[in-house]
Amino acid sequence: MLEWNDDRHPRFDQKYCNLPAAILPKGESLKMAIHRVIPYWQDTICPAVMQNKRVLVVAHENVLRGIVQTLSGMSNEEILHYNIPTATPFVYEFDENLNPLQYYYLLGEDLDEKQ
């Protein structure tokens, strides 16, 4: 989290000048990201997948960690050490009840790393 006097704190950004500084976020922890993204996963993404739609999720690392942790059941310690490469497509395949069957990175036709 950013310190109050850190130049990157949103209170120094002109676009937030009309908002009380106390309500501006100082950052986002993994716990905060999970709390924010999992309801969206359950309410929006899961129904789309159940309708056989292909869904593309583009997100920053903590959001992706939150989704992976929730789907895989990894512990907090495990997910912190799990490598999520930047700009590498990551695929989850599910059964009819949205239980993960497998997940893997798309690294090229001969380089898929299936887990």
Superfamily grouping for domain 28-114? Phosphoglycerate mutase-like (3.40.50.1240)
Query: What pLDDT score does 49 carry?
Result: 95
**Do 115 and 102 touch, CB atoms closer than 8 A?**
yes
> Residue 25 and residue 34: Cα distance in Å, rounded?
16
Query: What pLDDT score does 112 carry?
Result: 47
Task: Delimit the domains of the chain by residue range.
Answer: 28-114
Query: What pLDDT score does 74 carry?
Result: 95
Number of neighbours of residue 32 by Cβ within 10 angstroms: 14
Query: What mean pLDDT do residues 72-81 have?
Result: 94
Q: Which whole-number Å values give the CA distances from 82 to 57, 65, 87, in the listed order?
A: 18, 8, 16
Residue 75 has pLDDT above 90, yes or no: yes
**Do 74 and 68 touch, CB atoms closer than 8 A?**
yes
